[in-house]
Structure 1
């Protein structure tokens, strides 16, 4: 394929990624073209490499996550870009962070199994919050009395934390206990809160914690 054709395809892909509010897969990018002019998958992958190289030395990068490719601000510039937004960073309770970490590392896992590991009841508000953010979902029901729901992480969870797959999570061999898992998730979460893709929605500032007044309220302090 001629160089000018590759540049033309690259420019179309660049424009689409800038306009899109979500990551786009190779197939979704190919579908932008009419059938007669649709680039082969290998050509599209080459164009993405070209785009990646064109971002070198600039304030944004092309990033591959679970759902596809997106442009995003480089972390080195998050402090300055974060000043564009008036919303304060979200606050997450240690209980929510630990619950999210356990789902990510032990999936599929039931609420009861999470409670057994943490030693406290998991508030319904935590599970609801994680589902509303589309970070976890029900993937089935365990074949035991009561058939409790089994939870697993989602592509949106991977996308939010800049992961292409679960294999990119820190290995459990590197994390000694739940506190370390919580801190690792919190560190990643706070870095992502400071900046998002240029076209993405800035997260709201709502505080997330266990349900106030619930007799099973987790006493863990809120992290921020």
Structure 2
């Protein structure tokens, strides 16, 4: 049996014990700044490819997860304590596609006012966070998505968000959603991808 690199062993142990995904800086703080953390992560990622668990990176943070094709083995029926309202779902979608974005900009896209409670719900879920203030009169607060948002929806980055054609092909654009289409189409940095999970799924009829 070949000798396993000690840095790889240390990184593997640190990730296994961590309660949250870890960045390279987090791991270096535990293992040592001189350690080749990036090299160890690359090696471990290759070692775990095709196995029951995989080492994945989401927004610069690393964690172990069940292999996607085996997730059904561990799926359990759980009660969903909170279902996002239609307003919250649309607000989350707008923030994801246009971040950083202010409340006024969200309202301009949706065409209706956004209550403080709507954004508070998204922040409580850990999917949205304040990202500073817009340098315009009044200096309004602006919002952006979080690494937890990417992890929850299985996205490596915002570039993996589904594009308009993906949403349309999946039948996820209803007449109200189409009101967002013009704004999304005008975004020069619009993400594209083949992600089957959509931010516009799992909605109720509450506006």
User: 1:127: Cα distance to partner?
Assistant: 0.7
Report what 2:84 is aligned to: 92
| Contact 1:23-1:69 within 8 A present in 2 as well | yes
Pairing 1:136-147 to 2, within 5 Å after superposition: 136-138=128-130, 139-141=132-134, 143-144=136-137, 146-147=138-139
Partner Cα separation in structure 2 for residue 18 and residue 45 of structure 1: 17
User: 1:175: Cα distance to partner?
Assistant: 5.3
* Structure 2: stretches of 5+ with no match in the other structure: 182-196
Asked which structure has the greater RCO (Cα within 8 Å, sep 6+), the reply is: 1
User: 1:79: Cα distance to partner?
Assistant: 2.6
Report what 1:106 is aligned to: 98
Report what 1:39 is aligned to: 35
Report what 1:221 is aligned to: 205
Deviations 1:25-72 (A, max 9, x none): 22322332356xx423xxx32322221222233221111011411001
2:177 corresponds to 1:179: yes
Report what 1:121 is aligned to: 113
Equivalent pairs, count: 183
Partner Cα separation in structure 2 for residue 34 and residue 46 of structure 1: 14
What's the Cα RMSD here?
3.2
TM-score when normalising by structure 1: 0.67
Partner Cα separation in structure 2 for residue 175 and residue 27 of structure 1: 36
Partner Cα separation in structure 2 for residue 186 and residue 79 of structure 1: 23
Deviations 1:93-139 (A, max 9, x none): 22211101111111222222212221222222211111222322222
Over 6 Å off, 4+ runs = 180-183
Inter-CA distance 174–50: structure 2 relative to 1 (3 Å threshold): same
Partner Cα separation in structure 1 for residue 84 and residue 42 of structure 2: 37
Inter-CA distance 133–171: structure 2 relative to 1 (3 Å threshold): same
Question: What is the DSSP-based 3-state SS (H/G/I as helix, E as strand, rest coil) of the residue aligned with 2:108?
Answer: helix
TM-score when normalising by structure 2: 0.71
Partner Cα separation in structure 2 for residue 61 and residue 45 of structure 1: 16
Inter-CA distance 22–9: structure 2 relative to 1 (3 Å threshold): same
Q: 2:70 aligns with which of 64, 74, 77?
A: 77
